[in-house]
Structure 1
């Protein structure tokens, strides 16, 4: 899902020059505080890195709060952070500029969370798969920080327990529902739908900025009417206009289903997943 000209200007030469000019003042393992410097491509990767490392790591999120991570264009200072990091946690194919920077600057110190197959990158929306990522990342961090390996693995176990409890809540909460079709503004919820036996009906494809054809919009509206859909979902970081248009045509309401690519202050991955579950239960008429 490479974006238009996101990589323009990020040639090998410009990367090397900008990182040399911004030079890392800290050693790859961190500064005088001894904490590992970790760079995360976007929020879920920041979340899992901080949960595993806690006070032993300093995590920098390349994507600012409220920004679409797909469209990230790296600044020279961020390229320097990637160069100086002990570990870069990213998802290949999701942020092209990060992919390019990793290839040129951090190939040997990168941890890729991308799923083994499939075009949908939103693997973190399946808590079971996210728990697997946490376990693998914990092992990588343990090799980088052997003095704290035991604590890292213990935190991983705690986080995995939380994620498995979340999975149990979803399984129970979505077991008995009047409807099982979720109409979404774009195809971000494939892993979640697959895990909990729902059918995702996206208005547009994997690109949240992609414009669906009028025919596609009509097809989704017709299907929504046929299935008795009561809610058309849109995302927190994307304009709701498309979903609102379909909702008006169907006689449904529009509501947020958050892909958790970023979070508001005071929220975290688990709390947003809980809100998503409540939104799904209401929309699907679950008992």
Structure 2
């Protein structure tokens, strides 16, 4: 009996540490309802930036110009984003579970402050979160083309990209740029869509299979540590395969004991 009371005492005095440090405020704001209310409030306070989303142009090609104009119109028409579909990629980027508060995060294509806030609820420090897009709806989102980033080499620990890769004119170039700006050992969590029965209006993504994504990652010095996929019928009645990838940039200074290449 005394042993049991001893365990109770230790549970209070020396609780087992969590894999990643917990933050009560962020945990509360991450809850359904609380997250939505905060996200809507933050987006409402940033509506003034919607007036300038068509002003800055970084699109050097017709393909980029079309992507910029299309997404700017979608953003301007929806105004408030309510989806949490990006969340999967912060879970993937957070593998293995760890303290990410000191890691520098780049979000490619965040559209507005909602995804910046989501990243913050997942443990990233606000000062370490940076976004890029073809237009900006917040000061932390720089107007930049993901195929021609102006960041120095190796400055980010994590890059996330949800339903954005398809807007690249050249997917290999986009993957190469991500690899360039990642630190050795840095993580890249992203999605891709394979739909060989239709032609993408933006790039070759529709016919860029999961196998081609794997080859591109390996070619750019990255290895896959996570992959899931599912199939769906899109609005045009065509079959699509949606891939979710987690990849890390190889670190030459670290020799892995048991490597399984995916």
Report the TM-score, using the length of structure 1 for normalisation: 0.29
Q: Which has the higher strand share?
A: 2
What TM-score comes out, normalization by structure 2 length? 0.31
Give 1 or 2: higher helix fraction: 1
